[in-house]
Amino acid sequence: MSQSKNDFTEPESGFSAWLDKDWDSPLRTSIERIATALRQFSHNLHDGIPTVEQSDSLAEMAENLLEASTHLEVRDHIPSMFEELREDRFIFFDHSPLSGSLSPVSAPLNLAVEGEKVVGRVNFGASFEGPPGHVHGGWVASAFDEVMGMVQAHFSEPGMTGKLVVRYQKPTPLHTDLTFVAWVESVKGRKIVTRAKAFNGDEQIAEAEGLFISVDFEALRSSLK
């Protein structure tokens, strides 16, 4: 049964299920630990006031970590993108700067399918600050793009963002549990219109409309060779 566009409950199933696939491994777990630690490091550095001794020590550790990371094998992003989309389009989002559990810069925005919607839950940390004590509006727009991008990819032929319109109704607070709810409004040929709302508790703080254009990914892949 279709749900009201203005109501949502706890998700019945989530995209977190992709973590249970066969390719889950100790390596993936380690990378996720690294990403989680780096995200928290960024928040602490943003909010903290270190002494000179502390800052020198942190700088040395950061430089050692950077040196170690330069020896990693480089992922070929274009082929891997299309292989991931072919196998399971949601695997690709593991590296998303908004929802990716393997991305050290993600919030992360946790996504779940609920009825005919996608629900995103997020708590933006200190490094996402724009106005004092609040989330930068660009990150709010990115969260809308992510949740609407996921809903159109799940319920129609996946496309790319053609237009994104955001209406900010209330300031978006940091360190607060927020909810983004998105649904597909209409599909006409290659044009997919989506809508979404953001909530702080029961209070609506923003809304958005997106236009996505479905893409022939095989043709796109060929054009990039």
76-129 pLDDT, tens digit each:
665 555 555 545 555 567 788 898 888 899 999 999 999 999 999 999 999 999
Please check whether residue 137 lies inside any domain of the structure.
yes
Residue 156: domain span: 75-224
Q: Cβ contacts of residue 33 below 8 Å, gap of 6+?
A: none
Residue 80: Cβ within 10 Å count: 13
What integer best gives the mean pLDDT of the chain?
83
What's the pLDDT score for residue 92?
Answer: 62
**204 within some domain:** yes
Q: Which residues pair with 183 in a beta bridge?
A: 117, 195
What is residue 221's predicted lDDT score, i.e. its pLDDT? Answer: 63
Mean pLDDT for the stretch of residues 46-51: 92
Mean pLDDT of 190-207: 97
218 three-state secondary structure: helix
Structural domains in the chain (count): 1
Tell me the whole-structure pTM to 2 decimals.
0.80
Give the count of beta carbons closer than 10 Å to the beta carbon of residue 70. 6
pLDDT of residue 18: 38
Residue 196 lies in a domain: yes
Q: Which residues pair with 191 in a beta bridge?
A: 188, 213
Q: How confident is the model at residue 13 (pLDDT cuts 50, 70, 90)?
A: very low
Check which CATH number belongs to the domain holding 171 and give it.
3.10.129.10
Report yes or no on 45 lying in a domain: no
Determine, yes or no, domain membership for 31: no
DSSP code of residue 25:
-
Residue 157 lies in a domain: yes
Are 166 and 140 a contacting pair, CB within 8 Å? yes
Q: Judge whether 206 lies within some domain.
A: yes
Distance CA 206, CA 199 (A): 7
| Within-domain flag for 2 | no
